[in-house]
Chain A
Amino acid sequence: MTLASDPVDFLTVQDLALSSGNLVITMPTSFHVARGETLAIVGESGSGKSLMAKAIAGLLPPGVTAKGSVKLEGCELNGLSERDWQRLRGRRVSMLLQDPFTMLNPVMRAGRHLDEVLRDDPTFHDRKARRAEVERRLMEVGINNPAVADHFPFQLSGGMSQRIALASSLARDPEILIADEPSTALDVTTQAEIMQLLKDAKAQRGMSLILITHDLRLAFSICDRVLVLYAGSVVEIGRADHLGSGPFHPYSAGLLLSEPSATKRVKRLVAMPGRVPMAHAVAGQCAFADRCDWADERCRAARPGLEQRAPGRFTRCLRQPEIQGELDALRRAALEAAPPISARLANELPLVKVDAITKVFPGNTATHALKGVSFHIAPGESVGLVGESGSGKSTLGRCLVGLETPTTGKIEINGIDAHDFEALKPEDRAHLRRTVQMVFQDPYSTLNPRHSIGKTLAESLRAGQSSGDMNVKIARLLTEVGLTGDYAKRRPAQLSGGERQRIAIARALAVSPRLLVCDEPVSALDVSVQAQMLNLFKDLKATRGLSFLFITHDLAVVRQIADRIVVLYLGDVVEEGSVDKVLSEPQHPYTKRLVASVPTSRASDHQTESRRIPLM
Chain B
Amino acid sequence: MTLPEAIDAQPVRISRRLAQIPLLVALAFVVVGVVVLCAVLAPWIAPYDPSLQRLDVGVSPPSSDFIFGTDSLGRDILSRTINGASTALVGPMVIAAGAFAVATVFGLLAGYLGGWVDTLIMRWVDFMFGLPSTLIVIVVVGVIGGGYWVAVAVLLITFVPSDTRIVRSAVLEVRPRPYIDAARSLGISKRRILFVHILPNILPIIVAYVAIDFAFALVNLAGLSFLGLGIEPGTADWGRMLSENRNLLFGGNPHGTLVPAAAMILTAISMNLIGDWLFEKFIG
Contacts and interface: CB of A to CB of B under 8 A. Distances in A.
Interface of A: 20, 23, 25, 45-46, 48, 51, 275, 278, 398, 401-403, 429-430, 433, 436-438, 440-442, 445-451, 459-460, 463-464, 493-494, 496-497, 504, 507-508, 511
B246 interface: no
B178 A459 contact: no
Given A459-B188, A508-B182, 11 more contacts: A45-B2, A275-B1, A403-B184, A403-B185, A436-B185, A446-B178, A450-B200, A450-B201, A493-B9, A507-B182, A511-B186
Contacts of B2: 45-46
A463 B188 contact: yes
B234 interface: no
Nearest to B197: A448
B183 to A, nearest CB: 8
A275 B179 CA distance: 24
A340 to B, nearest CB: 34
Interface in B192-206: 197, 200-201
B185 A437 contact: yes
A228 B241 CA distance: 74
A445 B186 contact: no
A401 B182 CA distance: 10
A438 B181 contact: yes
Contact of A25 (B3, B184, B187): B3
A199 B8 CA distance: 38
B186 A448 contact: no
Contacts of A23: 3, 7
Contact of A46 (B1, B185, B201): B1
A171 B239 CA distance: 65
Contacts of B7: 20, 23
B1 A440 contact: no
Interface residues of B, number: 21
Contacts of A493: 8-9
B182 A504 contact: yes
A430 B188 CA distance: 10
Interface string B45-77: 000000000000000000000000000000000
Nearest to A51: B3
Contacts of B179: 445-448
Contact of B187 (A45, A48, A433): A433
Contacts of A463: 186-188
B187 A429 contact: yes
A496 B2 CA distance: 9
Given A449-B201, A497-B1, A46 B182 contact: no
B274 to A, nearest CB: 22
A135 B183 CA distance: 50
Nearest to B8: A493
Contacts of A507: 182, 186
Nearest to A447: B179
Given A45-B1, A46-B3, A459 B200 contact: no
12 contacts: A23-B7, A46-B6, A278-B6, A403-B181, A429-B187, A438-B185, A446-B178, A450-B200, A460-B186, A463-B186, A496-B1, A508-B182
- Chain B contact residues: helix, strand, loop or mixed: helix
Most buried by A among B178, B183, B197: B178
A170 B181 CA distance: 42
Interface in B7-48: 7-9
A494 B182 CA distance: 20
A508 B182 CA distance: 8
A20 B200 CA distance: 32
B185 A401 contact: yes
B187 A438 contact: no
Contacts of B191: none
Contacts of B3: 20, 23, 25, 46, 48, 51
Given A433-B187, A445-B177, A438 B9 contact: no
Given A448-B201, A494-B9, A433 B186 contact: yes
Given A447-B179, A448-B179, A459 B6 contact: no
Nearest to B187: A433
A438 B179 CA distance: 11
Contacts of A436: 185
A433 B9 contact: no
A508 B185 CA distance: 9
Contacts of A442: 178
A421 to B, nearest CB: 9
A368 to B, nearest CB: 21
A447 B178 CA distance: 7
A452 to B, nearest CB: 12
Contacts of B8: 493
A459 B196 CA distance: 11
Nearest to B200: A450
9 closest A-B pairs by beta carbon, nearest first, are A440-B178, A450-B200, A433-B187, A401-B185, A463-B186, A448-B179, A446-B178, A445-B177, A496-B1
Contacts of A464: 186
Contact of B186 (A278, A450, A459, A496): A459
Contacts of A401: 185
Contacts of B181: 398, 403, 438, 440
Nearest to B198: A448
A221 to B, nearest CB: 26
B108 to A, nearest CB: 15
A12 B190 CA distance: 60
A91 to B, nearest CB: 30
Contacts of A25: 3
Most buried by A among B1, B188, B197: B1
Nearest to A25: B3
Nearest to B180: A448
Contacts of B187: 429-430, 433, 463
Nearest to B11: A494
Contacts of A446: 178-179, 182
B185 A433 contact: yes
Contacts of B200: 448, 450-451
Contacts of A20: 3, 7
Most buried by B among A275, A441, A449, A450: A450
A508 B179 CA distance: 12
Nearest to B192: A459
Contacts of B186: 433, 437, 459-460, 463-464, 507, 511
